[in-house]
């Protein structure tokens, strides 16, 4: 994405981070105006590319580290490692620079990609073991915006979709992993264009800025990942030690 250089001394300088999906991204903004976004070069490069992306994008704007005033973070559910890295870096920036933090659920970032004609929406992310991280949305008739009516939660995709209002649009990377369950669900489901399945830091900024306008900031020790389940390695460790105890 081409970077714009915009001078607005009165607006906060913002870094937005999205690392909950396989391919992460970082955006910088001045108030509501997006200045630039950088997507990572490959999947699962969060640990390697996040800090260099923040450094490069801020330098392109002529910012010093201390110029960062807000940090908005996509907090999941999604990649355990990616979310943990983003939250750790955001909290470190807050401690070092005193910047304000905002937590943005990843399902909301994805739902905001839905076209205007979508009235009922489900966001699906793969949670492995036949399950999904899911959330359901309905478009407000008066204001035309989608609002979350359920989730995010860890659930069976077939049951979750069958219980939703229909016709139902679906989006998210979980679709490709659970096509049999989706096909077996009750009611009409339609996929949103695949180009809209990827969460982007630019949308994290847009949603984060709206929260900032209402004063909905997150204290550093309250900026936490939305995991919904324990990491697979942690579950294996617990099962192993439970068996040993028996």
- Distance, in Å, from the CA atom of 159 to the CA atom of 185, rounded to the nearest integer, reads 7
Low-confidence ranges of the chain (pLDDT < 50): 1-7, 233, 236-238
Cβ-Cβ contacts under 8 Å for 26 (sequence gap 6 or more): 15, 16, 17, 18, 37, 38, 50, 53, 54, 57, 201
Nearest-angstrom CA–CA distance, 37 and 40? 10
Could you name the CATH architecture of 114-196?
2-Layer Sandwich (3.30)
Contacts of 88 by beta carbon, 8 Å cutoff, 6+ apart:
none
- Which part of the chain has CATH 3.30.420.40? 13-107+199-235, 114-196
Q: Rounded distance, CA 31 to CA 18, Å?
A: 18
Position 237 scores a pLDDT of: 41
The hierarchical CATH code for the domain 13-107+199-235 is 3.30.420.40
């Amino acid at each position: 994405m081409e970077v714009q250089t915009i001078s607005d001394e009165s607006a906060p300088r913002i870094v937005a981070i999205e690392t909950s999906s396989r391919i992460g991204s970082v955006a910088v903004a001045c108030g509501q105006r997006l200045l630039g976004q950088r997507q990572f070069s490959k999947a699962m490069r969060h640990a390697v590319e996040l800090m260099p992306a923040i450094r490069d994008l801020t330098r392109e704007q002529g910012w010093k580290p201390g110029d960062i005033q807000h940090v908005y973070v996509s907090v999941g559910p999604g990649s355990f490692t990616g979310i943990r890295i983003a939250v750790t870096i955001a909290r470190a920036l807050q401690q070092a620079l005193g910047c304000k933090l905002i937590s943005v659920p990843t399902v909301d970032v994805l739902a905001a990609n839905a076209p205007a004609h979508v009235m009922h929406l489900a966001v699906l992310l793969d949670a492995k073991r036949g399950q999904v991280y899911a959330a359901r949305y309905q478009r407000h008739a008066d204001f035309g915006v989608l609002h979350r009516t359920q989730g995010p939660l860890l659930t069976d995709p077939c049951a979750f979709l069958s219980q939703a209002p229909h016709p139902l649009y679906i989006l998210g990377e979980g679709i490709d992993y659970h096509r049999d369950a989706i096909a077996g669900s009750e009611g009409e489901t339609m996929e949103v264009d695949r180009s809209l399945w990827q969460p982007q830091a630019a949308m994290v900024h847009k949603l984060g800025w709206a929260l900032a306008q209402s004063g909905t900031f997150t204290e550093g020790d309250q900026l936490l990942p939305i995991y919904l389940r324990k990491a697979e390695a942690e579950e294996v460790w617990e099962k192993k030690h439970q068996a040993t105890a028996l």
